[in-house]
Amino acid sequence: METKKPTGDWVLRQVYSEQFKRQVIEEFLRTGIPKQDLLAKHGIKFKGAILTWMRQLGYVDSQDKPAPLGLNGRNGIAMEFIGSGEAEADKAELLKRVKELERLLEDERLKSEAYSRMIELAEKELKTSIRKKANTK
C-alpha cells in the first residue's frame, strides 16, 4: 500500500496494488464476511472500495453481466459461481427472456406508432390540435 502526499486540505490517499485488491475481493467472496469487517481488518478507509474494485477488476454485481467468480448475496449483490452445465441452462433461459422482452418492446413501439398516426389523422380530419404545445405552461 502506498500513500500520496496531501495537497491542500486533502488527507493522505490510499493506493492499493491490483494483487491486494484481488486478495480482498476473493476473501470477501469466499468467506462471506461483511464488507465493513473486511475494510476494518485491512485498514481500508473508503466504504465503497470493494464494490468499486469488483467493477474495475471484472468481478461483477447483479446489475452487470455474469461474474467469473463469486457466491455472496449480501446487500443486494447477487453473485454465484456458475458451473459449465448450469451456465448453458442459464444462458438458454436468458436468451429466451431477451427474445420475449424484445418482442414486447417491438409491440409497444408499434402501439406507440399507431397512436401517433391516429392522432395525426384526427388532427387532419377535425382540423384541430390534439397534442399539447411545447411552449405552454
Compute CA distances 62 → 2, 46, 66, whole Å.
Answer: 31, 22, 8
pTM beyond 0.85: the answer is no
Q: What is the pLDDT of residue 7?
A: 55
Those residues with Cβ within 8 angstroms of residue 79's Cβ, 6 or more apart along the chain or in another chain: 29, 59, 60, 61, 62, 67, 70, 71, 72, 73
Q: How confident is the model at residue 76 (pLDDT cuts 50, 70, 90)?
A: very low
Q: Helix (H, G, I), strand (E, B), or coil: what is residue 26?
A: helix
Residue-level pLDDT at 86: 62
